[in-house]
Amino acid sequence: MTYQKRVPLLMLLDSVIVLFSIYVGYFILHPYLNFYNSKLLLVSSLILLISHHIFAFRYRLYHKAWEYASVGELVTITKAVTFSILTAAVAQLVGAGHVHVRVLFLTWMLHMLLIGGSRFSWRMYRDRYIKPINKKARTLIVGAGAGGTTVARQLLHNNDVELDPIAFVDDDPRKYMLEMYGIKVCGTITDIPGIVKKKGIENIIIAIPSLSKKEVRRIYEICAITEVEIKIMPLLEDVMTGKIEVSSLRNVEVEDLLGRDPVELDISSISESITGETVLVTGAGGSIGSEICRQICKFTPKEIILLGHGEYSIYNIDMELRQEYGVHIGIIPVIADVQDREKMMEVMEQYKPSVVYHAAAHKHVPLMEANPKEAVKNNIFGTKNVAEAAEAFAVNTFVLVSTDKAVNPPNVMGATKRIAEMIIQNMAKESSTKFVAVRFGNVLGSRGSVIPLFKKQIAAGGPVTVTHPDMTRYFMTIPEASRLVIQAGTLARGGEVFVLDMGEPVKISDLAKNLITLSGFTEEEIGIKYTGIRPGEKMYEELLNENEVQKEQVFPKIHIGKAEPINKEDLYYMINKLKEISDDEMKETLIETANKKGSRQLHIAK
């Protein structure tokens, strides 16, 4: 019904209710009064009628969508009715010298009952009889707190969402068998499989925004037994403030199942080191490099230099950042290779960055086993070129993106990254530039990582290939890895190796199983094929070796290791030797050098 038709009809209905209320009120209290000839009653009813419509428009009573009526609308009705009754009382006091308190009070009660009833009856009728024809999926909501009840309420009153809330589960024993919006709390989280079977549940929504990643993983593993679709609600504040609708419920992602909460940033210290400064990122088109650029731009640097040798990847991140930040930040793409020493010197001299994040590297273990010279040129000589250029032009802070594979490396990639760490650790002893390294484990979703491969294999119908059923890795998200790199720059004193507390390592086979389930399949449908450990791979990764472990955290979830580089003369002798030896000799030399302990230990953490 249009607004032009609805308002006159509501005014007519309210007029009947107002007059009915006051006349019935008088009749109940004064049944023998000839109230048809009562001048006071006539004047009172007229004033009440006029004042009701005035206050109805004042409080927009005729503008409400009553099919969604709730407590707010009840408050509005109370205000309009109460003030109209008070107006009639004042008129009686002025005109007759006294007020018919009992009559007006009874009129108020009838007025409230009939006005409120007429509005809320429409909502009840709509909820009960005017339902969409299509069948909604029976849904179980995990959590009967603020998040769960918000989700339930929006699902009940949003016919565009194809979900019908049937039951809650909650671990709070005080809520058991209670009802919220007519939906019963049927048990605890451990009861989910039985409730799903008993009530024919087709969807589960995890609606506890305060959950830690470890708790999300526990709940997901229980829900996964049921083989129904599992979703998780967005942030509660986004739902309640209207930024996000419940229809924005998202699927549970692998990132939700890491079993730990992500690293948070020290915003103030990062702002001090980046805001208004020139920042250079090498490998800016890669997974980690591009995310570092996104995170940095949030702190409004003066300029950000996007350096990389891949034209298309640099073009993509350049276009993305220009669209969002181009008005306030100078975004400068530079196509260059870190192996080109002269070009690195030119870039540093031209732009004079205060902070350099060195993310350019070859990182794929089996490929680097087959191409050791390329790993050496990019990971060792490339790092040396950028670091020496940074020192030559007085860069304040240089952050090397390293890897857990640099710990006791049995492979070319890990050995080259450990030697890159040694280069900057030795430079840190003598330079005014603060050189630091950041180690982290595998990054979910980065190029060459297992997640994109698994997704591709699942999309093709399987099987998912895993090297060994017991192989484990530490995992983190791309934004989390980038935050760690940025935070390390603010904590740098020079020579440190920063390490993220990544919680417990995750079995690759478990990751594959979770991803299969999240994709809507069973392990039997897709299958997992074990292919054997590839050249250079380790069964278990480490973040620090036993000589580097320090329990103290310099920042929540960030540790500093005790670095042990070989002395500068031995290191540079070995680096120069790499230019001359064959591929066959190179792997052995790299691994021997990377695992060699220095004549002195460099204790950095203070």
- 156 contact partners, CB below 8 Å, separation of at least 6: 127, 165, 181
| Phi/psi-derived region of residue 436, left when phi > 0, alpha when psi is between -120 and 50, beta in every other case | beta
Residue 336 in this model has a pLDDT that exceeds 90: yes
Is residue 83 classed exposed, middle or buried when 0-12, 13-18 and 19+ CB atoms within 10 A define those classes? middle
Residue 381 in this model has a pLDDT that exceeds 60: yes
Summarize the chain as % helix, strand, coil (round to 5): 50, 15, 35
Where is 102: in which H helix or E strand?
Answer: helix 101-129
426/6: higher pLDDT: 426
Residue 237 in this model has a pLDDT that exceeds 80: no
The pTM of the full predicted model, rounded to 2 decimals, is: 0.61
Residue 549 in this model has a pLDDT that exceeds 60: no
What φ, ψ does residue 26 adopt, rounded to 5°?
Answer: -65, -40
* Sequence-ordered alpha helix ranges (H) in 275-392: 287-297, 311-325, 341-351, 365-370, 372-375, 382-392
With contact defined as beta carbons under 8 Å apart, do 332 and 306 qualify?
yes
Q: What's residue 546's pLDDT?
A: 54
What percentage of the chain has pLDDT greater than the value 70? 78
Residue 217 in this model has a pLDDT that exceeds 90: no
Q: What's residue 603's pLDDT?
A: 32
199 labelled catalytic: no
Q: How far apart are CA 162 and CA 151, in angstroms?
A: 13
DSSP state of 87: H
Q: How far apart are CA 123 and CA 67, in angstroms?
A: 4
Domains (ranges, CATH) in the chain? 3-129 (no CATH), 137-252 (3.40.50.720), 267-443+475-502+541-594 (3.40.50.720)
Angle at 86 between CA 82 and CA 89, to 5 degrees: 140
Tell which residue, 276, 284, 147, 150, has the closest CA to residue 216: 147
Spot the catalytic one: 363, 384, 405, 587: 405
CB atoms within 10 A of CB 549: 13
399/590: higher pLDDT: 399
Please, which residues bridge with residue 142 across strands? Answer: 169, 206
